[in-house]
Copies of this chain bind each other. A is one copy, B any other.
Amino acid sequence: MSALHTLRLKYQPVLPKHIVDIDNVIVEDGPKTQSKVDQKELSELFKHTYGLPAAKLAAGRSEEIHRKMRCGFILSGGPAAGGHNVVAGLYDGLMKGNKENKLFGFKCGAGGILKNEYIEITSELIDKYRNMGGFDIVGSGRTKIETDEQFATAFKNISALELDALIVVGGDDSNTNCALLAEYFAAKNSKCVFVGVPKTIDGDLKNEYIEVSFGFDTACKTYSESIGNIERDAISSRKYWHFIKLMGRSASHIALEASLQAQPTYAIVSEEVEAKKMTVNQIANKLTDLVVKRSQDGLNFGVVLIPEGLLEFIPEVKVLIEQLNDLLAHKKEEYAKLTEFAQQKAFVIEHIPKEMGEVFSGLPDNIAKQLLLDRDPHGNVNVSAIETETFVSGIIKNELKRRGSKVPFTPVHHFFGYEGRCAFPTNFDATYCYALGYTSFILAAYKKTGQICCISGLKGPSTEWICGGVPLTVMMNMEQRNGSLKPVIQKALVELNGKPFKYYESKREAWALAEDYAFPGAVQYYGPAEVSDQPPKTLLLEQN
């Protein structure tokens, strides 16, 4: 066990003062809630759980909090730092409520419910996981409960375990699943309630109720450390252009937060590319101009941040990908006979509209090859496997060549992903998660089913945070998924009119031409508050 491991086990998160005394917390009904859109469809799908009041945690005494409970939980989807503290907060809340309470963790996400695989969380066990990164106390998984059979199995297993509550720790999909389970169990008059906890390092589970999802802070600070180190390498070596792909396929929150932390030469924000309908050529031109301009200033180096989902946000590439999926599905046999890339490329250009053929020819070869490979069972290309970082450096290289430019350009590529999901949670995430877990216990004790824990005031000290719950249906709309309309929680994209992006926009021209960078350094767990106890910069800008 590392020295930091031993020490972090002893860290004690400070709870918001309005919930710390369990004998002075009651849950009151806030105003009734409504989804912003699709009210009719949602109220029909969630007959028993739609439109319920939000949960307000007020001062007061009630025996409800001391009722005897058997509680379960799952950790769902990609791990995020702080998950173990959600469990710790939940466990400690349960123990404060009633010493006879029980907590069970299903193994490896919702799959554990279906397989009826779980463990009991004891005091000895949870003490080994306090303030630890990862989801390994029970493991995580991506299974969703979707079919009638799966719902029936979940009902059977959860009922057999006599659970009074199940806490779902997950992102937008898992919390949608949480809402569906809440409705299903409510319709069957089960005593089991379902409470969600907002997790995702991507930061796209965010709205007027949720200031930030947990894990985002730790992930961004961990990536920003590496980005800052690479920036310092760039100004020391003075000869490399670093292209850094960051996790976040559906939104660019991580790239934006990391930019605010590390002030790179440039950060691509996918949402802006989409909104401005930028073409590959426009992106190539913009970045090539930058490479040339910096070279004129003697700066033959730079650091560019790239959200991994970029390609699907470039309108013409999105169309191209769809057309390639179609083409390769319909001309499968003909295409399969072509073994050389040159033949494949010619075949593609011949069979898609001319303007798309031009887009395709303009792509760097390695990216064009990747777009032709590996269809998934639905006939779609695996976009997440495409090396977006080499795409960006490749279009610059091509453009420099087209211009006949002799500017030195040596790209180096990086992908930061897995190393940010399971770090020891920052003090912010450790404290936030502990409060989320503790709140989930209170909501569960008060039978607030189909709600997600929401904590506001995160820019201030944790003692002043305000905890509560909001029905998940509030955040939903209806979307096409695999050919049918489904209720889903809307993903938050980077708002181009929001304060964080506006701030970046106001700075980026200066940063793009600057020689120097900002160096966030490694996450600090000790030392003065300004280095060890700060929320994400996007949150500070948004809440200011």
Contacts and interface: CB of A to CB of B under 8 A. Distances in A.
Interface of A: 1-8, 75, 78-79, 108, 132-136, 139-140, 222, 225-226, 228-230, 232-233, 235-238, 240, 242, 261, 339-340, 412, 414, 418-424, 518-528, 530-532, 534
Task: Give the 5 A-B CB pairs with smallest separation, nearest first.
Answer: A526-B527, A232-B422, A134-B232, A4-B521, A522-B522
A128 to B, nearest CB: 10
Given A225-B522, A419-B226, A3 B534 contact: yes
A1 to B, nearest CB: 6
A236 B135 contact: yes
How many copies of this chain are found per oligomer? Answer: 2
Nearest to A221: B522
22 contacts: A2-B261, A3-B530, A3-B534, A4-B524, A5-B521, A135-B236, A136-B235, A139-B235, A139-B238, A222-B522, A225-B423, A229-B420, A229-B422, A230-B422, A233-B421, A233-B422, A339-B340, A424-B519, A521-B525, A522-B522, A524-B524, A524-B525
A346 to B, nearest CB: 15
A132 to B, nearest CB: 8
Contacts of A534: 3
Given A229-B423, A340-B340, A530-B7, A522 B523 contact: yes
Given A8-B521, A79-B236, A424-B522, 15 more contacts: A2-B519, A5-B518, A79-B233, A132-B232, A133-B229, A133-B232, A225-B522, A230-B419, A339-B340, A423-B521, A423-B522, A424-B521, A522-B522, A525-B527, A526-B532
Given A242-B418, A525-B524, A1 B236 contact: no
Contacts of A2: 228, 261, 518-521
A534 to B, nearest CB: 7
Contacts of A522: 4, 222, 225, 423-424, 522-525
A230 B520 contact: no
A437 to B, nearest CB: 17
Contacts of A530: 3, 6-7
A75 B232 CA distance: 14
Nearest to A133: B232
A236 B524 contact: no
A81 B229 CA distance: 10
Given A518-B1, A527-B525, A422 B236 contact: yes
A237 B133 contact: no
A2 B221 CA distance: 12
A5 B519 contact: yes
A230 to B, nearest CB: 5
B423 A237 contact: no
A412 B417 CA distance: 11
Contacts of A525: 521-522, 524, 527
A144 to B, nearest CB: 16
Contacts of A340: 339-340
B418 A134 contact: no
